[in-house]
């Protein structure tokens, strides 16, 4: 009884089996995942009318909603549809429409079952929440979540109403306010899943479950609350305490920059005990308000940019890549050990080579520790962590390099050493693509002396590797498409977001960090207190102030990088003397426990008061805006140079790379989106004034001057 849907583009299908069970299949054509598009919602609405009449005629005993895609149920609402909503009223209407359709499912007079085998997010989860039952597979990738706050909104298709009713307030807050998804075991524990079954037998188990439901052997799920939770959730004072705690935590975590988590808490708190109609209305209203905020627009933009970045290479170029079934990392230091762990965590066999046994041991220990932490955090099981660690082979020679498809070198930042290592890697693995993790050297210079320099590219990972989502994929002038595609695809397979950059000093992120950190140093020289400088940029939303960041990077490394960039790019770089003064005073930063801050057992404490003796500290207050503008406008100016030199594809890449590479506040949409919000003309005038007051390092870049003259912006407004 298979029949195509009226509009084949949405991939919605329906059939009734011999047992009078209806199966609704989601299978969006041309996409690896299912998305909830407005068109799909419309078709579902039409299908529901048919289902209602079939049920009235006694043709259906139960209804199953499932996916035709491997590994996904529904990955969420199409973010393009969210981005296209012009304002609060339209967002509110879209929410109300989704609620209306889903509530029709809730009202069907036969049992409804969501069969979830894989990723189930956002609107997909809300759809499942409007079913009577949820059967879930134990597949590795299965996650059920409501990540809407990460886009600056809240679940708008009934999630804030249905989830607390199903799993209790505390569990629901835990998912909605943080956006954290539940794995199958947790879903079962909190009552979100009625049953968790082996992925290999998912279809049969679903059929059996449906049979049991129809036979009346399965009750509707009720929240599984422990005694203490019941006490909190079922009394008014208990609930007050619960919401107060949730608000405190959300305020601390969002630092006041993100309105969505608090709004979600308010919506849930207010809707408890209300009639469902009112609760749904409250949710739609709140969604409308949030969707129209700058924060949400910025977060949606960053999300879309990261999706776009994954498609930066055409399918034709990607098809040229060498598939990587085994890789090698040379240099088992801070970066090498962590890159080896990343490969193993993603099930890729890896050889980790060093020249020093102690260094190798420490790299392997570092990798093991990271795997242990990932397993403690529930990313994978303990036994699995052991299996993954077994994928790493430690080596002091090149014997194991024969089968290797790609090599990443992460040895000390010295050109002759890197060239030598590349030559050795070439003879040990003649067919392999060779990648350098250099931060500041030229990839092309590293490729010199290697035969087939077309096989060399840069893969610049960020520290700490397991946390930082960005990889700069560096194309040297001689790098072939094949090598580029191999490195780009590897970055994706390791779960990172690749951004293509040209082989210019500092690539993109370190180049933009240069003037920003330099200016913070200048402010120290001018007498501004450390805490005031860092505080000004933390208040802007930076994850840490620039001086704390310098401590993390280390003054030796920062000094080296700024000298390299100054030599190549000119006087705009590296003119502050702070770094040298800190080094003269024996300060390397966090690594030797002596920087702008004091450290105890590797943890940072307060500002080191003895730093003040090295510099003149004035009592004159320095306005926070002045600090922010001096540091950040120099970064904007440098971005204009980088764009003009075609270091990256354009302003979108700058914005994405800084959010993912240094944690530039995503709620601001990226550096250049923020610059546009201030106005290029304003920034140009400020730079001109700063140049007159403080020196040429502020002189506006030619591109910025042209943009100001023609009233142009870096980014478009969508
Ligand atoms: P590190 O000093 O911690 O480790 C370097 C390792 O290379 C040491 O274990 C050393 O024994 C080994 N080594 C030296 N010569 C070797 C050779 N000929 N063959 C094999 N191994 C050799 O250095 P780190 O911090 O891990 O940096 C490595 C590379 O990554 C550098 O190019 C650096 O610029 C880059 N990088 C560093 C970042 C950081 O934050 N540490 C961030 C991004 C890139």
Identify the residue whose tokens are 């024969």: 402
Range list of β-strands (E), 488-536:
497-502
Catalytic (active site) residue 710:
no
Q: Over the stretch 442-466, which tens digit does the pLDDT of each residue have?
A: 999 999 989 999 999 999 999 999 9
| 603 bridge partner residues | 600
Nearest CA to 41 out of 120, 106, 109, 123 is that of: 123
| Percent of the chain residues topping a pLDDT of 70 | 98
| Percent of the chain residues topping a pLDDT of 90 | 87
d(Cα 669, Cα 223) in Å, to the nearest integer?
A: 39
> What atom in ligand 1 is closest to the CA of residue 412?
5
Q: Provide the 10 A C-beta neighbour count for residue 535.
A: 14
Nearest CA to 55 out of 63, 66, 67 is that of: 63
Q: Give the distance, in angstroms, between the CA of residue 293 and the centroid of all CA atoms in the same chain.
A: 21
pLDDT at 8: 55
Distance 138 CA to ligand 1 centre (A): 40
- Residue with the smallest CA separation from ligand 1 atom 28 is 410
Q: How far is CA 604 from CA 169, 536, 663, 677, in A?
A: 36, 19, 19, 34
Q: How far is CA 66 from CA 354, 377, 567, in A?
A: 50, 30, 60
Q: Over the stretch 509-544, which tens digit does the pLDDT of each residue have?
A: 999 999 999 999 999 999 999 999 999 999 999 999
Specify the 3-state DSSP secondary structure of 575.
coil
Burial class (CB in 10 A: 0-12, 13-18, 19+), 128: buried
- The stretch 333-359 carries a mean pLDDT of 97
Strands 327-330 and 143-145: unpaired
d(Cα 18, Cα 123) in Å, to the nearest integer?
A: 30
Specify the 3-state DSSP secondary structure of 30.
coil
Q: Decide: 280 and 99 in contact? Cβ < 8 Å.
A: yes
Q: How confident is the model at residue 489 (pLDDT cuts 50, 70, 90)?
A: very high
Q: Which of 66, 460, 466, 629 is catalytic?
A: 460
Quote the tokens at residue 548. 């704390």
> What atom in ligand 1 is closest to the CA of residue 336?
26
CB-based contacts of 495, cutoff 8 Å, min separation 6 = 342, 346, 469
Q: Does the pLDDT at position 354 exceed 80?
A: yes
Nearest CA to 77 out of 26, 121, 27, 143 is that of: 121
Q: Decide: 101 and 48 in contact? Cβ < 8 Å.
A: yes
Q: How confident is the model at residue 575 (pLDDT cuts 50, 70, 90)?
A: low
Distance 449 CA to ligand 1 centre (A): 20
Distance 447 CA to ligand 1 centre (A): 17
Q: Over the stretch 692-718, which tens digit does the pLDDT of each residue have?
A: 999 999 999 999 999 999 999 999 865
Range list of β-strands (E), 417-547:
433-436, 456-461, 470-475, 497-502
Q: How confident is the model at residue 225 (pLDDT cuts 50, 70, 90)?
A: confident
Specify the 3-state DSSP secondary structure of 415.
helix
d(Cα 384, Cα 283) in Å, to the nearest integer?
A: 41
Distance 414 CA to ligand 1 centre (A): 9
Quote the tokens at residue 466. 């397991």
- The stretch 618-624 carries a mean pLDDT of 81
- Residue with the smallest CA separation from ligand 1 atom 30 is 410
Specify the 3-state DSSP secondary structure of 366.
helix
Nearest CA to 170 out of 127, 228, 128, 131 is that of: 228
- The stretch 490-495 carries a mean pLDDT of 97
| Cα separation of the two ends of the chain | 44
d(Cα 219, Cα 339) in Å, to the nearest integer?
A: 48
> What atom in ligand 1 is closest to the CA of residue 413?
32
CB-based contacts of 296, cutoff 8 Å, min separation 6 = 151, 152, 153, 260, 290
pLDDT at 301: 96
d(Cα 171, Cα 181) in Å, to the nearest integer?
A: 11
Of residues 2 and 325, more confidently modeled: 325
- Whether the model clears a pTM of 0.85, i.e. scores above it, the answer is yes
Range list of β-strands (E), 455-534:
456-461, 470-475, 497-502
Lining residues, ligand 1, CB within 6 Å: 330-336, 353-356, 359, 410-413, 417, 421, 437-439, 461-463
d(Cα 533, Cα 70) in Å, to the nearest integer?
A: 51
pLDDT at 438: 95
* Residue 551: its H or E element: helix 546-553
d(Cα 50, Cα 458) in Å, to the nearest integer?
A: 57
Strands 406-409 and 327-330: parallel
User: 5-19, 423-437, 471-485, 523-537 — which is least confidently predicted?
Assistant: 5-19
pLDDT at 422: 97
Quote the tokens at residue 639. 């971005």
Q: Decide: 128 and 116 in contact? Cβ < 8 Å.
A: yes
Q: Provide the 10 A C-beta neighbour count for residue 679.
A: 14
DSSP state of 368: H
pLDDT at 706: 98
Distance 429 CA to ligand 1 centre (A): 20
- Residue with the smallest CA separation from ligand 1 atom 39 is 463
SS (H, E, C) 271-306: HCCCCHHHHHHHHHHHHHHHHCCHHHHHHHHHHHHH
User: 67-76, 461-470, 606-615 — which is least confidently predicted?
Assistant: 606-615
Cα dihedral 453, 411, 335, 600 sign: negative
Please provide residue 138's backbone torsions phi and psi, each rounded to the nearest 5 degrees.
-90, 20
Q: Does the pLDDT at position 2 exceed 60?
A: no
| 352 bridge partner residues | 329, 394
Q: Return the best residue to mutate from 331, 517, 551 for the ligand 1 pocket (most ligand atoms within 8 A of CB).
A: 331
Q: Provide the 10 A C-beta neighbour count for residue 540.
A: 19
DSSP state of 58: T
pLDDT, the chain, mean: 94
Specify the 3-state DSSP secondary structure of 99.
helix
d(Cα 281, Cα 278) in Å, to the nearest integer?
A: 5
Q: How confident is the model at residue 230 (pLDDT cuts 50, 70, 90)?
A: confident
Q: Does the pLDDT at position 86 exceed 90?
A: yes
């Amino acid at each position: 009884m298979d029949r195509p849907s009226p509009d084949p583009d949405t991939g919605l299908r329906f059939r009734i089996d011999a047992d009078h069970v209806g199966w609704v299949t989601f299978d969006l054509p041309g996409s690896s995942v299912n998305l909830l598009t407005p068109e799909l919602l419309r078709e579902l609405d039409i299908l529901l009318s048919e289902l209602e009449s079939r049920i009235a005629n006694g043709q259906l005993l139960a209804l199953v909603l499932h996916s035709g895609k491997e590994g996904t149920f529904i990955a969420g609402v199409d973010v393009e549809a969210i981005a296209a909503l012009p304002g609060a009223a339209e967002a509110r209407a879209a929410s109300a429409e989704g609620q209306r359709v889903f509530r029709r499912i809730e009202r069907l007079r036969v049992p409804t079952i969501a069969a979830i085998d894989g990723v189930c997010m956002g609107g997909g989860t809300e759809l499942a929440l409007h079913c009577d039952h949820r059967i879930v597979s134990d597949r590795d990738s299965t996650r059920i979540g409501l990540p809407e706050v990460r886009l600056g909104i809240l679940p708008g298709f009934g999630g804030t109403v249905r989830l607390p009713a199903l799993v209790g307030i505390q569990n629901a807050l835990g998912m909605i306010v943080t956006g954290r998804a539940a794995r199958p075991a947790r879903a079962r524990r909190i009552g979100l899943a009625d049953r968790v079954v082996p992925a290999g037998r998912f279809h049969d188990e679903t059929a059996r479950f449906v049979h049991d439901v129809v036979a009346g052997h399965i009750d509707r799920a009720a929240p599984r609350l422990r005694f203490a939770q019941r006490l909190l959730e079922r009394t008014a004072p208990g609930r007050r305490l619960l919401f107060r705690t949730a608000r405190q935590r959300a305020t601390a975590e969002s630092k006041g920059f993100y309105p969505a988590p608090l709004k979600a808490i308010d919506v849930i708190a207010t809707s408890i005990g209300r009639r469902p109609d009112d609760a749904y209305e409250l949710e739609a209203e709140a969604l409308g308000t949030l969707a129209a905020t700058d924060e949400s627009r910025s977060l949606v933009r960053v999300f879309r940019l990261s999706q776009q970045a994954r498609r930066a290479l055409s399918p034709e170029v990607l098809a040229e890549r060498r598939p990587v079934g085994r890789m090698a990392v040379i240099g088992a230091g801070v970066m090498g050990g962590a890159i080896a762990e990343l490969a193993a965590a993603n099930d890729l066999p890896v050889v980790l080579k060093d020249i020093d046994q102690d260094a190798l041991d420490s790299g392997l220990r570092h990798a093991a520790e990271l795997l242990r932490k990932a397993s403690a955090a529930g990313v994978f099981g303990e036994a699995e962590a052991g299996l993954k660690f077994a994928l790493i082979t430690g080596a002091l020679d090149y014997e194991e390099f024969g089968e290797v498809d790609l090599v990443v070198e992460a040895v000390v930042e010295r050109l002759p050493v890197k060239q030598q290592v590349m030559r050795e890697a070439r003879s040990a693995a003649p067919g392999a693509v060779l990648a350098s993790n250099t931060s500041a050297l030229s990839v092309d210079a590293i490729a010199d002396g290697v035969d087939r320099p077309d096989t060399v590219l840069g893969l610049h990972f960020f520290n700490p590797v397991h946390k930082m989502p960005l990889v700069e994929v560096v194309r040297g002038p001689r790098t072939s498409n094949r090598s580029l595609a191999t490195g780009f695809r590897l970055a994706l397979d390791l779960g990172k977001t690749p951004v293509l950059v040209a082989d210019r000093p500092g690539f993109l992120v370190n180049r933009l960090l240069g003037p920003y950190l330099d200016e913070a140093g200048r402010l120290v020289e001018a007498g501004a207190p450390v805490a005031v400088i860092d505080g000004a940029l933390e208040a802007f939303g930076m994850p840490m102030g620039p001086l704390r960041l310098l401590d993390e990077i280390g003054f030796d490394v920062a000094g080296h990088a700024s000298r390299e960039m100054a030599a190549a790019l000119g006087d705009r770089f590296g003119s502050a003397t702070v770094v040298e003064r800190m080094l003269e005073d024996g300060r390397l930063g966090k690594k030797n426990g002596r920087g702008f801050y004091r450290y105890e057992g590797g943890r940072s404490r307060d500002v080191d008061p003895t730093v003040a003796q090295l510099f003149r500290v004035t009592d004159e207050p320095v306005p926070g805006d002045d600090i922010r503008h001096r540091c950040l406008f120099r970064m904007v100016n440098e971005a204009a140079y980088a764009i003009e030199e075609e270091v990256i594809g354009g302003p979108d890449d700058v914005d994405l790379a800084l959010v993912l590479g240094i944690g530039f506040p995503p709620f601001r949409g990226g550096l250049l989106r923020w610059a546009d919000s201030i106005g290029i003309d304003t920034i140009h005038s400020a730079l001109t004034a700063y140049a007159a007051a403080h020196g040429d390092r502020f002189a506006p870049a030619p591109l910025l001057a042209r943009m100001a003259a023609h009233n142009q912006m870096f980014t478009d407004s969508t």
